[in-house]
A and B are shown apart, each in its own frame.
Chain A
């Protein structure tokens, strides 16, 4: 049975130190090799350095559009994605760089996409909000708030239809929970017993609107799943062990019983909603941001944890960080050196049948520009 009134994990108190001891002992974590733990550290650092580098070039006017930074939330993507097997799939919203790197997309193709270059993961056609890598079971990158939630359900449906033992991890923000498409998806997920895990990355804000001003709730957002008879849980997103332990439970439920779960992960973003968010410091206090950075940073906490465990040294951590910075710099240079897409590619990737020059794609006019 779902817990009815679990309180939200509190991370607002300066002094609350996370005690990850229990989650570290969870089976899924107890079996981790030092190398894997260091790997998670490396993945989180890579996401952060990638984004900081992208921010630098964004501020130089070298990219278009929006840039929604994931910084502060890294443990969520890295922790959850680390559990994925061959038939597990990921789909998320527009704050998608973290998940993309976590599934193994290269910094080069991601950075080039931000620069709108032909070498980008989406050939320069998607941009920051629309990264894709189906070969890595990564289905985007979706710009419409909540719009990806039925798609995630569809991935789960497809797996079940094909008799594959896998699940879909469908990420969304705390603002997306108020979209109808999400609620329709929850109903269908429960009704048809589909192996989907909805992961609400609750960073407390949807643009400039606080949780309190956007969502009616009893105790937390995940709890709404009760209405659909879906098991739900909450996790502290600054603790990678806890994220993994809770996600593993949800994934097991999907794999073994073909049942959905809603998992709400408590987290925080350090930057504005997007880099263009002029009000980033108005709807929340600088002190609040500082408090999270100082006491609740998932990367610092993980690093400390690994050092306490004797798995990682300061020097090793430093070297990993340096390597991540270098990798991001190389990616930026790769993006700068890459060509923009050729004008004729505007009409490519619209229709499969046309791209593949099939008979079906050869009858009738498909494009109406001169």
Chain B
């Protein structure tokens, strides 16, 4: 299998879907002529032209809302947010319009729109540019949200998101764009709501999504090499819908869970996972559920400190050892 980057995997997914469905149109700031702020859409404008790849002005509420309106008529816009951190200026459009219009119309309307872009800390761009709003999105019934951790997942989930008839938010990661994974040449789609065991283990479950999966995998290797602990790493991939079965299965297998989450702890994704485990797998637990989240303050700029603010391998190992 060829090794391709997370960025290229997304790019391939977009290109394949543009070709597959004439209603797919990519809209966002700098997506066309500039090739994308993070080059995810590189070459697409040259290949597919003005109609399918559209440069938007810096006007997130306007163009995201426009995409939602167009999706009600059957266009399938894939909207790029240069950063998910900028979604807040379009928040009303995303939450109230994309999220609620189906419900309020008694099911008469649906919005097959994708809103995608990076949502991560760790790049020393300060608090305004480092948000991870997957928990906010997941808090809104009507919206879906996925956080791919590898190139393989990014491509498969992006294709599923574009084909989905509900609004799907895809949260990518600038720190992963340049990383490579094996991706098959044949077409594939990864259904939303299906988690993936990224490492089989028996002693403790590390449950994560997005780049936290990569951090958890590194921690698992050290736990095995230095502490004789065989950790299982479950990648949620999709936050809403959520693969609850996979969460409960891994907990029932290892009897210990450490949740690794780049979200903040208060009402973050891991809070929901923890609640689910205690409700449904309490008797299977041999130790309290532990969490390793971003430290609970706005994202700090200082490069020295930001790396400590995000979940680190060391903090994961510490939590695991604490409940071994």
Contact = CB atoms under 8 A, between A and B. Distances in A.
B156 to A, nearest CB: 13
Contacts, number: 192
A130 B99 CA distance: 14
Interface residues of A, number: 59
A181 B63 contact: no
Interface string A89-100: 101000000000
Nearest to A164: B73
A140 B66 contact: no
Contact of A367 (B25, B64, B101, B141): B141
A363 B102 contact: no
A187 B69 contact: no
B141 A158 contact: no
20 contacts: A122-B106, A126-B104, A130-B105, A134-B105, A140-B105, A143-B96, A147-B92, A147-B93, A150-B64, A150-B65, A154-B73, A158-B69, A158-B75, A161-B51, A162-B75, A349-B105, A353-B164, A359-B191, A363-B193, A364-B193
Interface of A: 89, 91, 120-126, 130, 132-135, 139-144, 147, 149-159, 161-162, 168, 180-181, 184-185, 187-188, 191, 348-353, 355-356, 358-360, 363-368
A191 B110 CA distance: 27
A155 B69 contact: yes
B193 A365 contact: yes
A159 B165 contact: no
Given A157-B66, A181-B65, A191-B57, A360 B192 contact: yes
Given A150-B61, A359-B191, A134 B108 contact: yes
A141 B101 CA distance: 10
Interface of B: 23, 25, 51, 56-57, 59, 61-75, 92-93, 96-97, 101-110, 112, 141-142, 144, 160, 163-166, 191-194, 238, 240-244, 272
B66 A188 contact: yes
Contacts of A135: 108
B109 to A, nearest CB: 6
Contacts of A149: 65
Contacts of A368: 242, 272
Contact of B72 (A126, A130, A134, A349): A134
A157 B68 CA distance: 10
A123 B107 contact: yes
Contact of A351 (B23, B97, B142): B142
A353 B105 contact: no
Contacts of A359: 191
B117 to A, nearest CB: 18
B62 A364 contact: no
A149 B101 CA distance: 14
A356 B164 CA distance: 12
Contacts of B144: 351
